Structure 1
Amino acid sequence: MSTARKDLFSRTLGVPGRLHMAAHSHHLWPDCTLDAQVDAWRDAAVLADHKWDKALGEVYPAAQGLVARELGLPSPDTVVFAPNTHTLLATLLSAVGKRPVRVLSTDGEFHSFRRQAQRWVEAGEIELTLVETDRPDFDERFLGAARTGTYDLIFVSHVFFKSGYVFDRVWALAELARPEGPWVAVDGYHGFRAVPTDLSAVADRVFYLAGGYKYAMAGEGAAFLHAPPGFGPRPVLTGWYAEFGDLEGPPGGVGYTVDAGRFLGATFDPSGLYRFVAAGRMLEAEGLSTPSVARHVARLRSVLLARIALGEAGPLKDAVVVNPPGRGPSARFLALRHPAAQAWKTALAERGVVVDVRDDVLRVGLSIYHDEADIVAFCAACAGLV
């Protein structure tokens, strides 16, 4: 793509007095998702009890297919959806057949894992080892720790939410994964539809979690897990939807479907899946592939960095760029570390500019609805910061 596609976001970009520069956090919804939301309501009203025939028989498989095509999965049947990744994470851990579960992770994981892992430690559910992300040679240190063979579950991000660091060697962990353990689970929320990701070579060994809230442009309610066949056949945390399909299990016991549906919960709001499908089909129909969007964002990021360096964004020139462009894949946001990051975020909000901050890191997220004029406007708003 060579130009911004503001036309696809006329409703959300039409909010007066707002410059949205946080596509990495809460991505603006494209116009097609409003139609999808209305469709979900209309189906509930018209079909009533039979709305599930469409939701589970048409919308759900379409959402699975979108994920499978984006990630190069051999089958859409390895994809299961849930309202959020926390639910999927808890279900995944429940499938590990021992306690305490020996877990290897990092100090840079998102709060859905960080908080729950800390509580699991308190409860004696897991033993947790964390690898520091801010020290040099993270890749080698993490891979080295994983290769010690002392863990049951290895959980790590593909793209770290705070720094934007892309752990592109994460797929090397697949060589360690076994159905009997260890399991490898990759948090792909900041990578899905942001960084081109092909799981075809590792899909039989690696779990992958992501969802619709960020770069999939669909909002909440459409998180998903890719579950490799044979890994975790009987989660302890289970809902009655996991009984749909061909079941396996002990005679007279609790049966589970053999595909990713074994990780299903129970009744959910399907409107998130309607939006997920609508946004995904829009991207495919418009030729907005992840590589093409990433190139558009990379060009704008270069423009923004150049203007910051020239002092056009005021004090942002004094910030440390945590994730400068390199030779490999880049996150879809710019991370700027400075002691005044919190104050900058607040001051920009008063000017109608939406960014976000994590501790002392200001994050600026770009997408297909941004162009160079937005970069100029953003820098002008930053020029008055102190």
Structure 2
Amino acid sequence: MITPTDLRASPNALARHYSRFRVGERLLLTGHSHQAWPDVAVEGQLEAFDDAARHVDAKWERAMAKAAEVAESLAGLLGDDSAEITLGSNTHELVVRFLSALDLRGRPRLVTTDGEFHTLRRQLSRLAEEGIDVVRVPASPVETLAERLAAEVDGRTGAVLTSSVMFETSRIVPGLGDVAATCAEHETELLVDVYHALGVVPVSLDAMGLRDAWVVGGGYKYLQLGEGNCFLRLPPHADRFRPAVTGWFAEFAALRDEPDPSRVRYPAGAARFAGSTYDPTSHYRAARVLRFHTQHGLTPEFLRDVSLHQVTLLARAFDDLDIPEDVLSRDRSAPREACGGFLALRGPGASALHDALADRGVYTDCRGHYLRFGPAPYLSDAQLRDAMAVLGEVIRLR
């Protein structure tokens, strides 16, 4: 079994399994945006093609078995083996279905933060233009964010929508269980985005007090599943909702029945929020990658240990550069355990630094004033130090 020490060495013990992405030759610090896929992902893609070629329209039975395998694995990663999981190509389509199930006429108020990923940021901004009362609570300071979110909940609030790890800053949001309790008192729905946690910060919905929350996320980032692998975890009371945006897969099991033109029927469970025809290749790929993780012992706890080591190393290497605070800085107010899987560096020239690093073969990601270094388990310690050294060179040349 691979150990954390094996991953710190050069070459990294996992790197050979990611040869198609050439992770041993490139400095891919894009982990917060897009991690490399292991080579076995190709096996899943080819299996999807072979099933389509062999079975044509009868492929869907096999495709749905793959989808069920992926959903089962995701439920395990949420610490909720009995979870009802609706799969989708992206979080946006799932969030839209969730929003369409709310009584926004009777409760036209949505509470969120000003630090959300584009999916929520853009869609909620557009709804605000149409008259929905969207309250944006400042994401900082994160220590009091849950308390401030809860304080905004009232009888007109349809839902609270927030992340468990903030997309810009990497800070883990504490106290979301308290938000869930307040939402329950007001019969308000709570949707939590765990996209930036799964695969790098262990999640247990029961331990977090989120059993009755809606949970959205995906595998494009830390889970290495590639595009098309997002999900909505339904809470136990989800069968009370009838999403207005609904796909015909929601009645897949009853297609031979005569439809009732006067009333749209909904099944119980995950299919209630299902969409329509999709490319099942993503689920074949995801199922194979998730099996690879199991085979190599890449559990949430193991990956968390690896991530903490890698981000701590990057932070120390950054500090050693002694860069002026007005050029680039990092948050030193919290221990590394209070953060997710990337190092957030803040400065007015973050975008230009991102481009200059890419020109020198160091791939990161950025948003606004934040430059993010996102390590991954297939990178060695030497690669992380090399990447940070290039940052120092770029700044000195400015």
Q: Same fold (TM over 0.5)?
A: yes
Instruction: Report the 3-state secondary structure (helix = DSSP H, G, I; strand = E; otherwise coil) of the residue aligned with 2:175.
Output: helix
1:34 matched to 2:42: yes
CA distance in 2, matches of 1:216, 1:317: 34
1:337 to 337, 346, 353: 346
| Aligned residue number for residue 235 of structure 1 | 243
1:219 matched to 2:229: no
1:112 matched to 2:119: yes
Q: Please show how residues 44-55 of structure 1 align to structure 2 within 5 Å.
A: 44-55=52-63
Instruction: Report the 3-state secondary structure (helix = DSSP H, G, I; strand = E; otherwise coil) of the residue aligned with 2:197.
Output: coil
1:83 matched to 2:89: yes
CA distance in 2, matches of 1:21, 1:327: 18
Alpha-carbon spacing, 1:140–1:121, altered in 2? closer, same or farther (3 Å): closer
CA distance in 2, matches of 1:128, 1:334: 30
Q: Tell me how far 1:8 sits from its aligned partner.
A: 2.2
Q: Tell me how far 1:44 sits from its aligned partner.
A: 1.1
Q: Larger deviation: 36-45 or 228-237? A: 228-237
1:282 matched to 2:295: no
How many aligned positions are there?
380
* Contact persistence 1:94–1:237 (CA under 8 A): yes
1:261 to 252, 258, 271: 271
* Contact persistence 2:27–2:363 (CA under 8 A): yes
* Contact persistence 1:101–1:153 (CA under 8 A): no
Alpha-carbon spacing, 1:303–1:178, altered in 2? closer, same or farther (3 Å): closer
Provide the alpha-carbon RMSD of the alignment. Answer: 2.5
Q: Tell me how far 1:14 sits from its aligned partner.
A: 5.5
| Aligned residue number for residue 102 of structure 2 | 96
TM-score (norm 2): 0.88
CA distance in 2, matches of 1:206, 1:156: 11
Q: Deviations over 1:201-256 (max 9, x none)?
A: 54541000001111110111111000113235211110111113489x99952111
TM-score (norm 1): 0.91
Q: Tell me how far 1:146 sits from its aligned partner.
A: 4.2
* Contact persistence 1:335–1:362 (CA under 8 A): yes
In structure 2, give the amino acid aligned to 1:130. R
Instruction: Report the 3-state secondary structure (helix = DSSP H, G, I; strand = E; otherwise coil) of the residue aligned with 1:176.
Output: helix
Q: Tell me how far 1:257 sits from its aligned partner.
A: 1.0
Alpha-carbon spacing, 1:280–1:168, altered in 2? closer, same or farther (3 Å): farther
Alpha-carbon spacing, 1:6–1:379, altered in 2? closer, same or farther (3 Å): same
CA distance in 1, matches of 2:127, 2:23: 44
Q: Tell me how far 1:328 sits from its aligned partner.
A: 4.0
CA distance in 2, matches of 1:47, 1:15: 39
Alpha-carbon spacing, 1:135–1:71, altered in 2? closer, same or farther (3 Å): closer
CA distance in 2, matches of 1:180, 1:253: 29
CA distance in 2, matches of 1:136, 1:194: 19
1:298 to 308, 312, 315: 308
Alpha-carbon spacing, 1:223–1:323, altered in 2? closer, same or farther (3 Å): farther
Q: Deviations over 1:286-314 (max 9, x none)?
A: 111111111112112222222222228x6
CA distance in 2, matches of 1:246, 1:281: 32
In structure 2, give the amino acid aligned to 1:296. V
2:19 to 4, 10, 35: 10
Alpha-carbon spacing, 1:141–1:233, altered in 2? closer, same or farther (3 Å): closer
CA distance in 1, matches of 2:160, 2:325: 37
CA distance in 1, matches of 2:36, 2:289: 11
CA distance in 2, matches of 1:136, 1:52: 44
CA distance in 2, matches of 1:139, 1:383: 34
Q: Larger deviation: 358-367 or 229-238? A: 229-238
Q: Deviations over 1:13-47 (max 9, x none)?
A: 2685x310111101111111111111111111111
In structure 2, give the amino acid aligned to 1:110. F
* Contact persistence 2:344–2:370 (CA under 8 A): yes
In structure 2, give the amino acid aligned to 1:156. T
Instruction: Report the 3-state secondary structure (helix = DSSP H, G, I; strand = E; otherwise coil) of the residue aligned with 2:388.
Output: helix
In structure 1, give the amino acid aligned to 2:344. A
Instruction: Report the 3-state secondary structure (helix = DSSP H, G, I; strand = E; otherwise coil) of the residue aligned with 1:258.
Output: coil
CA distance in 2, matches of 1:72, 1:195: 12
Instruction: Report the 3-state secondary structure (helix = DSSP H, G, I; strand = E; otherwise coil) of the residue aligned with 2:157.
Output: coil
In structure 2, give the amino acid aligned to 1:214. K
CA distance in 1, matches of 2:235, 2:254: 17
In structure 2, give the amino acid aligned to 1:195. V
| Aligned residue number for residue 374 of structure 1 | 383
1:199 to 199, 205, 211: 205
Structure 1 gap ranges (5+) = none
| Aligned residue number for residue 128 of structure 1 | 134
Q: Tell me how far 1:150 sits from its aligned partner.
A: 4.2
